[in-house]
Amino acid sequence: MLREGGHDVVGVFMRHGQEGESNVDATTCNRQGCCSAADAADARRVAQMLDIPFYAVNFEKEFQTIIDHFVSEYTAGRTPNPCIQCNTLIKFGRLFEYADSIGAKYVATGHYARLVETEGEETALCRGLDDAKDQSYVLFVIRREFLPRLMFPVGEYRKPEIRRIAERLGLRVADKRDSQEICFVPERNHAAFVRSKRGDIDTSGDIVDTKGQVLGHHDGFERFTVGQRKGIGIAMGEPCYVVRIEAQTRWVVIGPKEELAVSRLTANETNWLTDPGGAISCEVKIRYRSPAVEGTVQILPGNRFEAELCRPCWGVAPGQAAVCYRGDRVLGGGWIE
């Protein structure tokens, strides 16, 4: 699409150097990753078909930082989002440095999001046209000054249309399954991965109700996240959910769904893509798959904000992102405290 638009295109693949990368065909293997050796081979073949330069860039050092953060967050009883961390550090960090080193004006990725020029000649980050694939939530961390240099060519299309375009071009990845897993976590087992990396830290403890009554024992709170229902291992006679995780006591607190209701949250390490002012009326999205909820956001000192929601949300987990929207536009966001 970029070539058809008249651009001089260079293909770049990001290597992270982690174990478990497979040489099997990524179009048929069970692993749904995005940066394995098989994915690199797919990318190289596409570049050859398009007759464009292709470079595999080693970002192993930066990726190790993402893994360390992932492990430390789970060990602290929080629920991290490593894909957003990857966007912060690599895709919209080091990749821009690489673009500068080769004299590239733009960085283009396959995210389902849109960039729209406003009346004030400001570039706005907006939801992708395909609601089912919209990825604007994970892009709130992009530095504002980078927006004019970004391109999201697929954001104006729906996923089936993109597959048809790829098929028309004869690309063997046209039917490749979507990337849904955390690329460095084997077999979707994040708890086992955390345990293999955390050292001698003991995270086992009690499962308790919201009154502190002990209901059972768990072998590590990294197995749990706020809002979780399945796999708790406690029969209560009614559906129960993880209400919170207390790292200091090593408690996993469970309760009925109403105990999960949250109408106020605070977030830190904020990033704004427009000037927020003091207080803003907007919609707040607390997870990638959760609908945005209307609310009021108050800017706080120390790169923080507080969101007052018009209706309760369930599954508000510390460590996840809270992203502020106005209609389709991403205003900014932060990490839930």
DSSP 103-168: T-S-EE---SEEEEE-TTS-EEEEE-S-TTT--GGGGTTS-GGGGGGEE-GGGGS-HHHHHHHHHH
* C-beta of residue 321 within 8 angstroms of C-beta of residue 333: yes
Which residue in 35, 126, 183, 282 is the catalytic one? 183
* C-beta of residue 146 within 8 angstroms of C-beta of residue 154: no
Which residue in 29, 34, 35, 86 is the catalytic one? 86
Residue 86 is among the residues annotated as catalytic for this protein: yes
DSSP 182-217: -TTSGGG-HHHHHHHHSTT----EEEEETT--EEEE
Enumerate the β-bridge partners of residue 11.
Answer: 54
Which secondary structure element, helix H or strand E, spans residue 47, and what is its range? helix 37-50
Residue 34 is among the residues annotated as catalytic for this protein: no
From the CB of residue 163, how many other CB atoms can be counted at a distance below 10 Å? Answer: 16
Residue whose pair of structure tokens reads 């609601």 in the numeric block: 131
DSSP 274-295: S---SEEEEEEE-STTSPPEEE
- Catalytic positions: 86, 183
